Structure 1
Amino acid sequence: MKIICERESLAAAFQLAASVAPARSPKEILQNVKINVSNGQVTMTATDMEVGIRLDLAEGIEIETEGAALLPVARTGAILRESTDEKLTIETDGSGVLISGNRSKFKLPGANPDEFPRVVGFEEESYHSIPTGLFRQMVKRTVFATDAESSRYALGGVLLELEGDSVLAVGTDGRRLARMQGTGTSVGDHKTTGTSTIVPTRAIQLMERAVDEQDEQIQLAARANDLLLRTHRCTIYSRLVEGRYPNWRQVFPQRENASQIDMTVGPLFASLRQAAIVTDRESRGIDFTFADGTLKMEANTTGLGESVVEIPIAYEGESVTLTMDHRFVADFCKVLDAETNFILEIESGKSPALLSTEDGYGYVIMPMARDR
């Protein structure tokens, strides 16, 4: 095998593929990225046996000889990162892999590429086609709310519900819940069943990173035990999280007497950051008091001090004080533009707050017990 590559494009592709490979594994062969050159196509594959990626390289590649090789993740990544050559040549000589440029040459030991596990391609006839922008929003607006450390494994991923033209993603850690809904297209009558299509947090973050500006649509195919994503240049598969997702619809408030307050992300986030200056890991609660056209945020932490920050709001109802973890409110603000308008729905100090936007995003925050 021998190919000549533009270093920058090769490095970007290798970095994406290498992010799947495990840093440690009893199977040392998994700590490689396989590069395969055949039929005029260069493909990188990597897997940790739970998540896998097939990545096609099309730009900045000259093929001289076909074949296959295994590239050790750590050493190859360092070479691509530190090299100053515009182009690099990668070739095999039977005893290892040679990576060379105009001013550098490296020889790395090579394992047998035939022993590398096969990474599946996208051959499904039934799938959902989703606009790229919507898919990225679905991930960014839900994945932060998952709980990868929870003993309840089902919370360590994003639930996908795909049926007809409805596509929906949900993330929760039991204390807050994020839901993003939009419109896609079902091909071949594709749909998910029940609440079992739970994609691990790390895998769906990788999927979001793999999507680029050239992709107008991505395809998702849910199978019994895994999920496949296809873009114009790559396929990613992930095993699904075992278990059943909580009934998230029961968590979403359905209230008749709640107050709905129109707000904007930027002013709320700026004031929240000020109020949170005197909080710490143990004291995360901030009192949000809604009264007389004002939202007052108060924090009080022993040894750190007190804070009181006010912003005007369109609210003239009875005074309501709701204690919330300021990090959860901040997370909502971080995934939206500062000028985004949203509705904050409150009912009482013991009921969850619901934050929602016009484009299908809803976010529930459970109240904290007040310390004072």
Structure 2
Amino acid sequence: MIIPAKTLSTLTPLCDHESTRYALSGIRLERVGDTAHAVVTDGRKLVAVEWDDVDKPESNRVDCYAATISADACKAIDKAAGPVSKRNPSLGRVAIDEPSTNGTLTATTFSKAGQSSITVETLEGRFPAWRDVIPSRDFDSSLTAPAQKLRGNAKITTSREAYVAITLDPRYVVEVCAALAKIATTDDSRGVEFFVPIDGESPIVIKAETIDRPKAVGVIMPLSRGK
């Protein structure tokens, strides 16, 4: 697996550093076929980065790969990778040897100083079923919902245009949008899309997709009104 530059350094701050569930204190790496993901969640917000992992496949590559590495391990790998170079996109990338064995994985970094390898421990414990959190249906940004279908924390105004209100923690919105902007947008394409559920109880989804960049999706759980 070859992880795009900035991915680990951007997702690491979103880990739950105080959780008693060790798996939440790290980044989940998964690959099925040529599609790879890096996922982080603290139970209230989630960010998943997706990219095509087809660049020079490893000779020992397995069909399906999964491992969770701690935030501290990600920091060590990112430090070894060094700064990202706009002139040389290959710098800053990280190659993960497959498969991981004996509770460790070896990461190869590419920097201006050359190529180096670092071995870190993987986290034990079950990572949440993150795919179940992200709605699987196609989003329709032009969807108009009848007022009688709104319930729970959502409400609709009586102005000329209909608005759905949902209560979110602004810190989570900033953190998720900042991560998506850094990983999946460019100076020429900086927009992200918000998809707000009409029931006011389901999580909102934020998506960013730009040509030649990894795809990224963020999920934020709503707060109860008044909190």
Shorter-chain-normalised TM-score: which range? 0.7 to 0.9
Spell out the pairing of 1:2-81 with structure 2 (5 A cutoff). none
What residue is the counterpart of 2:96 in the other structure? 220
Kept in 2: contact 1:129–1:187 (CA 8 A)? no
Spell out the pairing of 1:170-319 with structure 2 (5 A cutoff). 170-185=39-54, 186-191=57-62, 193=64, 195=66, 197-212=67-82, 213=85, 215-216=90-91, 217-222=93-98, 223-224=100-101, 225-231=103-109, 232-255=114-137, 259=141, 318-319=162-163
The answer to whether structure 1 residue 332 and structure 2 residue 176 are counterparts is yes
How many residues end up aligned between the 2 structures?
193
Tell me the SS of whatever aligns to 2:173: helix
What residue is the counterpart of 1:117 in the other structure? none
In the alignment, the residues of structure 2 paired with residue 248 and residue 192 of structure 1 have an alpha-carbon distance, to the nearest angstrom, of 20
- Residues 224-272 of structure 1, C-alpha deviations (whole Å, 9 max, x = no match): 31121112332111100111111100011234676469xxxxxxxxxxx
Tell me the SS of whatever aligns to 1:341: coil
Q: Which runs of 5+ in 2 are unaligned?
A: 144-152
**Alpha-carbon distance change, 334 to 139 in structure 1, aligned in 2, over 3 angstroms:** same
In the alignment, the residues of structure 1 paired with residue 35 and residue 139 of structure 2 have an alpha-carbon distance, to the nearest angstrom, of 29
In the alignment, the residues of structure 1 paired with residue 137 and residue 207 of structure 2 have an alpha-carbon distance, to the nearest angstrom, of 14
After superposition, the CA RMSD in angstroms is: 3.1
- Name the % identity: 26
TM-score, with length taken from structure 2: 0.72
Q: Which runs of 5+ in 1 are unaligned?
A: 1-127, 262-286, 294-315
Q: 2:217 aligns with which of 362, 368, 371?
A: 362
- The CA deviation at 1:347 is 1.2
Return the index of the structure with the highest Cα Rg: 1
In the alignment, the residues of structure 2 paired with residue 160 and residue 250 of structure 1 have an alpha-carbon distance, to the nearest angstrom, of 16
Code of the residue aligned with 1:341 in structure 2: it is G
**Alpha-carbon distance change, 226 to 192 in structure 1, aligned in 2, over 3 angstroms:** farther
Higher relative contact order (CA 8 A, sep 6+): 2
What residue is the counterpart of 2:150 in the other structure? none
Kept in 2: contact 1:154–1:198 (CA 8 A)? yes
Comparing both structures, which one devotes a greater share of its residues to strand?
A: 1
In the alignment, the residues of structure 2 paired with residue 254 and residue 289 of structure 1 have an alpha-carbon distance, to the nearest angstrom, of 24
Kept in 1: contact 2:9–2:74 (CA 8 A)? no
Most deviating of 318-327 and 208-217: 208-217
What residue is the counterpart of 1:322 in the other structure? 166
The answer to whether structure 1 residue 341 and structure 2 residue 185 are counterparts is no
What residue is the counterpart of 2:37 in the other structure? 168
In the alignment, the residues of structure 2 paired with residue 221 and residue 245 of structure 1 have an alpha-carbon distance, to the nearest angstrom, of 20
In the alignment, the residues of structure 2 paired with residue 156 and residue 326 of structure 1 have an alpha-carbon distance, to the nearest angstrom, of 22
**Alpha-carbon distance change, 143 to 257 in structure 1, aligned in 2, over 3 angstroms:** same
- Structure 1's consecutive aligned runs of 4 or more residues displaced over 6 angstroms after TM superposition are 287-293
